[in-house]
Every structure is written in C-alpha cells, then in structure tokens.
Amino acid sequence: MSFHSHLLANSLQIIGETSPSARSVALGFFVRTGARDETPEECGVTHFLEHMVFKGTPRRSALDVNRDFDRIGADYNAFTSEENTVFHAAVLPEYLPQAVDILADILRPSLREDDFDMEKKVIIEEIGMYEDQPMWSAYDHAKRLYFAEHKLGNSILGTPESITALTRQQMHAYFQRRYVAPNIVVAAAGHFEWPCFVDLIEKHCGHWQKGAIGREGVSETRGSGRFEVMTKDKVTQEHVFLISPGPSADSPLRYAADLLGMAIGDDSGSRLYWALIDPGRADSADCSFHEYEGAGAFYTSFSCQPEQAEEDLRVVREVLHDVQKNGIREEELNQARNKVLSRVVRGSERPKGRLMALGMNWIYQHGYRSVDDDLRAFEAVTLADIRQVLERYPLDQVTILALGPLSQLHAPKA
C-alpha cells in the first residue's frame, strides 16, 4: 500500500492509500464539524444538515441522488458525531468518477425551504425513536451530565424544542461557516489511480470557498462528578452509566487507554464480564474508551433488573476501584491487546474500514498512520503505560446516571 496527499489551492486536503490488490475503492468527505461546534440556538443542526445534504442539489433531486448511487451499486451512508460529519461510499473502481461527482455535488446542497420543513418532522420523529431506546437515552443523558457546560456535552440529535425552533436561515449560516474547504478532508482507500483521483477532486471541489477554521472550547474535563437517577415510564430494566476522565485523541496514552477499557469491559473475558455477565447478575456490561479533541472519557455501563441495580452498582465500583488501585495483570493486557490487534487488522482488510482509519487518523493525529504504525503502537503498551493512564485519569472518579423504573438508587462507594 502507498500513501499520497495533496492540498488544493483552496486548502481542501486530499489523502489516499492505494492498494492494487483490492477489488473496490472507498472514498469519504470528512467534515470537521459536529455537535460541539453548535451554539445553544443551533442545537442539533449538524445532524439535521447531514440529512439535508441528501435532499437534493441544483443538479439533482433527492430521488436523483438515491438513483445515481444505486446505478453504480454504491454502498453509501453518512454519520454525525460530536466532532465530525462523514459522507462516504464504496464502489467498484470503474465507478469512482461517478461516486466523486455525486458526493461532491451533495456536499453543496440546495437546502430548500420545503425540504427543510418536511425533514424537520423526520428529525423530531428520530429523536423520539432514540429516546424510546433506554440504553441510548441513558448514554445521551449521562454524557450531558458528565460534560456539563463543556461543549462535548451538546446533544447530537438536539431536542424536539431546538429542532422546532431552528430556521433554514440558521442552518444555511452554519453550513457557510463550517463546510468550508479548509475544514474538509477528502480520503480514498483501495484500488484507484491517485493522479486521477486528485484531478477528480480538483474538478468538482477546487472552486469551494475558503473560510476560517477552528474550534472553541477545546480543553480537558474531569467531569461533573454528579449522580442522578432518571425515572422513565415503561422501561423495565435499570440502565446505569459511570463516566470517568481519559486521555485525548492526540495523546500518546490513547493506545493504553483503549487496551485498559477492553480489559475492564469487553463483552467476553473481561473484569465486568466475570463480575456481572457470567454469574447472571446483569444483561449487559461494558467499558470502553472514547477519545475526542482535547479530552477523553471511559464509559462504563450495565443494565439489569431494578432490584439488582444497587448491588450491581456496588460491584462495578469495586471493579473500578480495584483496577485503579492495583492495575491489571499482564495476561489481561495481552488478551486485550490481541483483541484490539485483531480488530485493527480485520477492519483494515476492506477499503471501507481502512478509509475510516485513514480519515480519522489524519484529523486527530494530523498525519498518516499505516496499519503497521497502529499495530506497533498497541504492541508497545506496557503495564507501566496502563499505570500512567490510571494516575493521570482516575478510573474511579465517576459521574453516574441511572435510567429506568427506579426513583432512587444509592451509590455506595467501593
């Protein structure tokens, strides 16, 4: 595999990893904007705008967009996170020109008023649908509780009230501010010719406007440390999240943090698995490390019958306290490492998987990282690195949210 990069005159960044042995090519437009970049008046606009991008352009109707993707057999989609909005497609190599044409075109949407009003109803229904999923709802509320006034606490979907109040003019102003050429990375991975790809992007995107880039409120946070119980009707299980601080996406400790989360809360063979799942105390239990620009966090969660919740919370806090005090064992580190190495390798075997790693590494690490670079970084993690993570980011310094039928829940200390 060979890596290439090129910066257009308008500061739009193009990167690519060519793999002649691949049988497909994946491409994506990584827009460095997400929920944390919204003002309170714009809450939910980034995700709403992701929907509107597919509603049509001066050249295509919404039906045309879908038909044109389908004609070339594309696997295409988009997603919005706290920090990025990504539009991507995977196609056979001969259809790369058409795929670039469609994606570049929809990245300059019409944002028609009629489409805006109709899609607003869809977004509000989507918010209701996710609120009806207890684990997702608990996660969203726990994230807001943990981050408090920090911009990472902004809701990705927004609220029915914020979406209802949002105007098409506000969305257009947000688009003009955030979808500028210097704030976008275009990436491709798989079987393609790099010079031809650069020419395609130059042709379709070289005229895009420049603009100021950057992000406000980039800082670490230790979390609010609060404990909250939310009673929700018709929810039969208790869903509990414990969030603690972690390293940021550009920290050298992120590899150790990823392995630590795996050792504590992977879905098989982890501390939480043996403490809660194997003995049948809980239906789910997980710990994972989430990295952001300037901050990071460990998300520990479990769901169980309400009558078991208090005892399970005690057990989870004991697990976190023990790890904080004593660390993890060498065999736990090796097991977690093997799982992560397998995840990295398997994800890289398909151009679409490699695309995501390529784009996100460029955004957060400000450069190229090969598969071997990531493998070496995980292989180099030692127990001393795990201890360093624990000393700098106490795992048992938690913010807790419980959502379910209970109206109160004690949070005994470990």
Cβ 146 vs Cβ 243: under 8 Å = yes
DSSP string, 259-323: HHHHHHH-SSSSHHIIIIITTTS-SEEEEEEEEETTEEEEEEEEEE-GGGHHHHHHHHHHHHHHH
Same fold, 2-205 and 227-404: yes
- Under CATH, which architecture does the 227-404 domain have? 2-Layer Sandwich (3.30)
Does residue 296 have a pLDDT over 90? yes
Mind listing the pLDDT tens digit for each residue in 327-364?
999 999 999 999 999 999 999 999 999 999 999 999 99
Tokens 């550009």, residue located: 250
Judge whether residue 195 has pLDDT over 70.
Answer: yes
Spatial separation of the C-alpha atoms in residues 28 and 102, rounded to whole Å: 12
Q: Tell me the whole-structure pTM to 2 decimals.
A: 0.94
Distance CA 292, CA 245 (A): 11
User: What architecture is the 2-205 domain classified under in CATH?
Assistant: 2-Layer Sandwich (3.30)
Is the pLDDT at 412 greater than 70, yes or no?
A: no
Q: Dihedrals φ, ψ of 200, to 5°?
A: -65, -45
Both tokens assigned to 171: 């969305």
pLDDT score at 414: 55
pLDDT at 300 over 80: yes
**pLDDT tens by residue, 4-18:** 999 999 999 999 999
Hey, where are the domains in the chain?
2-205, 227-404
- Res. 249: pLDDT tops 70: yes
